[in-house]
């Protein structure tokens, strides 16, 4: 089955361009287009796409607010959101991640990277480009130890030592194959560990796992 994508952007030419790029490969299909956040939420509920590609700046309801509504809807748990914007701005990155987005891309992304990003997120992987990851690391390196860090660290108490080790590797940017090789296990076993960690922590996906790893102090910028 092809990966089903919903496009949300207030510019028709942008939507047409992304549709053309995405549908160059037969394993990706665009099921609908939305021109604002309100329509994006409605179409997501109707179409149940695998991936929602949504712009941040849109009329009536912006992309971040729309993402929050979608993430909060238990019936849309399977929908993964990739946020699009023109510029990599720190406040957008952290607002998008806090809203529950699984990935973040700029509109300057090339066609191959765009399709790869859709496949990565559809497969349950985190989508943090190197430039975005550097910004995440930089942000947490400037934060003092506080109650949020302590509370986040306490959440990791449900994890075993091996699960903490796996979580740290994922936060460092390693995929299933790399984690498996480092710990002498199969990629499938590594994926099972990661799925169990996500379930134990009550988070949505790997992107949230990465943020929590830094937020809790499990991974620090000096170790990344």
Question: What pLDDT score was predicted for residue 223?
Answer: 44
* Regions of the chain with pLDDT less than 70: 87-91, 126-153, 220-224
Domain co-membership, 100 together with 163: no
Domain co-membership, 115 together with 186: no
The structure's pTM equals 0.72
Query: How many CB atoms within 10 Å of residue 174?
Result: 16
Are residues 118 and 30 in contact, defined by beta-carbon separation less than 8 angstroms?
no
Domain co-membership, 150 together with 200: yes
Question: What pLDDT score was predicted for residue 105?
Answer: 82
Within a domain: residue 140? Answer: no
* 223: its two tokens: 């170790």
The total number of structural domains in the chain stands at 2
Domain co-membership, 167 together with 219: yes
Domain co-membership, 101 together with 48: yes
Within a domain: residue 111? Answer: yes
Question: What pLDDT score was predicted for residue 25?
Answer: 87
Boundary (domain end) residue, out of 123, 154, 186:
123
Within a domain: residue 103? Answer: yes
Range of the domain at 82: 3-123
Q: Per-residue pLDDT tens for 10-19? A: 999 999 999 9
Question: What pLDDT score was predicted for residue 216?
Answer: 79
């Amino acid at each position: 089955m092809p990966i089903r994508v919903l496009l949300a952007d207030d510019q028709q030419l942008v939507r047409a361009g992304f549709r053309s790029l995405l549908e160059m490969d037969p394993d990706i299909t665009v099921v609908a287009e939305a021109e604002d956040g309100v329509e994006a939420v409605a179409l997501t509920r109707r179409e149940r796409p695998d991936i929602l590609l949504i712009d941040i700046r849109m009329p009536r309801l912006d992309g971040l607010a729309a993402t929050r509504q979608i993430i909060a809807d238990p019936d849309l748990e399977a929908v993964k959101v990739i946020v699009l914007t023109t510029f990599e701005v720190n406040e957008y990155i952290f607002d998008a991640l806090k809203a529950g987005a699984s990935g973040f891309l700029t509109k300057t992304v090339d066609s191959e990277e765009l399709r790869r990003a859709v496949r990565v997120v559809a497969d349950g992987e985190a989508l943090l480009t190197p430039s975005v990851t550097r910004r995440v690391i930089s942000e947490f390196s400037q934060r003092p130890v506080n109650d949020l860090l302590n509370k986040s660290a306490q959440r990791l108490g449900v994890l075993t030592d091996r699960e903490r080790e796996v979580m740290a590797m994922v936060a460092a940017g390693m995929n299933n194959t790399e984690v498996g090789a480092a710990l002498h296990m199969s990629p499938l076993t590594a994926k099972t560990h990661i799925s169990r960690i996500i379930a134990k922590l009550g988070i949505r996906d790997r992107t949230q796992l990465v943020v929590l790893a830094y937020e809790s102090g499990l991974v620090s910028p000096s170790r990344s």
